[in-house]
Amino acid sequence: MQLNKPGIYIHIPFCRHKCNYCDFYLITNLNIIDRFLDNLKKEIVISSKFYDGSEFDSIFIGGGTPSILSGKQICNILDVIYNNFRISEKSEVTIEANPEDFINNYQRLSEVEEAGINRISFGVQSFNDTELKFLSREHNSHQAVEVIEEAKKHFENISIDLIYSLPEQKVESLINSIETAVNLGIPHISAYTLIYEKETPIYNSMKRNIISKNEDKYESELYSIFSDKLLQSGYCHYEVSNFALSGFKSRHNLKYWEYANYIGFGPSAHSFWNGKRWNNFRNIIKYNINLQKDLIPSENEYRLSSDEMKTEFIMLGLRSKGINLENYKKIFGSSFKDEFSSQINEIRERGHGEIGTEYFSLSEKGYLLADEICARYF
Ligand code: SF4
């Protein structure tokens, strides 16, 4: 049932400090990086025997803050992957990076490029200094612009993350961030709403009424501004939160949305392989101990039932390019159009989706209600 080539994700769980809205698994003690890297390489080697014969065409080094690593450390990780997995010649190799790791140190951009990275994704979040301070980020907007200008000398394929719907965020401020990104010629932009994850400092501030979450209506308005502005600027809206100029969709992220296989290395990394899901321990001590005993550091292995796979396939498809009708038939042996004809008609009548020869996809209006539509109809 394999649809696209699989991808490899590597989680580097280190950051210099924890941002006040973040709930990713990460560690701020950078002294244990070397030990972690030894175990990471071991995990890659001992896992590789299970994937003999599969050819991968994307590698994504995420985190955390992988740009904390030196060029040599990145190069060593990639070497271990290339020596143990079959990787396509023209693979997409992405690293997530924070602008502050390159300020006054542009040489590091060459090192990252020379290590074999061909796509860089910056955690910019905003081009407004007050907003960056609110998010407890360590760079300012001027520095982000400078680093991106410099990065353009090394990478054609650049992405940035922007966060919107901050408390009291003005429309003008959001427009300024979007226009700055567009004017910089950044070919891929991810737009995320600020999520108040439980137990984070901003969640606690909201609970104590120090800050307040925007009303849903205002949040939707900001989302529409985001997507209208980028569509007008020539970007394709290819997933609820992702926009790309032609030729710059993220091959790796498309794997998650198009139900392709992927394997994850590093603490808390998730994997999906032929209908089976599992995750690595979300704890670096447990992770290290298992690898010292030559054990794969994973848990919660679970084979999805056919109904669960169907729901996931539909949900992921609706949030991105749409439900690929041919792939649906290949995987589930039935026709999506026949099985869900009444739901399709209702969604179309409301102007929330459209059926074509290859895909059933949501409209821009439908994207706004993607979660509701998935829950209500599928
Ligand atoms: S840099 Fe990214 S991963 Fe690290 S704490 Fe901030 S938001 Fe979380």
List the chain domain ranges. 7-257, 307-377
Asked whether 123 lines ligand 1 (CB < 6 A), one says: yes
Q: Which residues on neighbouring strands pair with residue 278, listed in sequence order?
A: 271
Please tell me if the CB atom of residue 74 comes closer than 6 angstroms to any atom of ligand 1.
Answer: no
pLDDT at 1 over 80: no
Q: How far is the CA of 375 from the centre of ligand 1 (A)?
A: 30
Please, what is the average pLDDT of the chain? 95
What crossing angle do the helices spanning 306-319 and 325-332 adopt, rounded to 10°?
Answer: 170
pLDDT tens-digit map of 266-302:
999 999 999 999 999 999 999 999 999 999 999 999 9
Q: 15, 17, 135, 199: which to mutate for ligand 1, most atoms within 8 A of CB?
A: 15
pLDDT reported for residue 52: 86
Q: How far, in Å, is the centroid of ligand 1 from the Cα of 23?
A: 8
Is 307-377 the same fold as 7-257?
A: no
**pLDDT band, very low/low/confident/very high, at 4 (cuts 50, 70, 90):** confident
Ligand 1 contact via 13 beta carbon (within 6 Å): no
CA of 296 to the centre of ligand 1 (A): 26
pLDDT for the residue numbered 313: 93
Dump pLDDT digits (tens) for 217-243: 999 999 999 999 999 999 999 999 999
Residue 178, Ramachandran bin (φ over 0: left; ψ between -120 and 50: alpha; else beta): alpha
Q: Does residue 192 line the site of ligand 1, with CB under 6 A?
A: no
CA 64 to ligand 1 centroid distance, Å:
6
Pick among 3.40.50.2300, 1.10.10.920, 3.10.450.50, 1.10.10.60: CATH of 307-377:
1.10.10.920
| Percentage of the chain lying above the pLDDT 90 cut | 92
How long, in residues, is the chain? 378
Q: What is the position in ligand 1's atom list of the atom closest to the CA of 15?
A: 4
- Using one digit for the tens of pLDDT, what is the confidence trace for 148-199? 999 999 999 999 999 999 999 999 999 999 999 999 999 999 999 999 999 9
pTM of the model: 0.94
25 versus 133: which is more confidently predicted?
A: 133
Distance CA 174, CA 118 (A): 29
Is 2's pLDDT higher than 70? no
If you classify domain 7-257 with CATH, what class do you get?
A: alpha beta
Interval 43-86: pLDDT, tens: 999 999 999 889 999 999 999 999 999 999 999 999 999 999 99
Q: 137: Cβ–Cβ under 8 A, 6 or more apart, which residues?
A: 19, 123, 125, 126
Token pair for residue 231?
A: 């569509």
CA of 19 to the centre of ligand 1 (A): 5
* pLDDT per residue as tens digits for the range 126-157: 999 999 999 999 999 999 999 999 999 999 99
User: 253 CA to middle of ligand 1, Å?
Assistant: 19
**The predicted structure's pLDDT at residue 377:** 86
pLDDT for position 3: 65
Is the Cβ atom of 98 under 6 angstroms away from ligand 1? Answer: yes
**Residue 116: CB within 6 Å of ligand 1?**
no
Q: Which residue's alpha carbon is nearest to atom 6 within ligand 1? A: 19
Cβ(65) – ligand 1 distance below 6 Å: yes
Q: In this predicted model, what pLDDT tens digit does every residue of 304-359 receive, in sequence order?
A: 999 999 999 999 999 998 999 998 998 899 999 999 999 999 999 999 999 999 99
Atom of ligand 1 nearest to the CA of 21: 7
The preferred substitution site among 26, 95, 102, 131 for testing ligand 1, maximizing ligand atoms within 8 Å of CB, is: 26
What are the angstrom distances between the C-alpha of 278 and each of 264, 271, 275, 292? 9, 5, 10, 20
Residue nearest to atom 8 of ligand 1 (CA): 22
Check residue 210 and give its pLDDT.
96
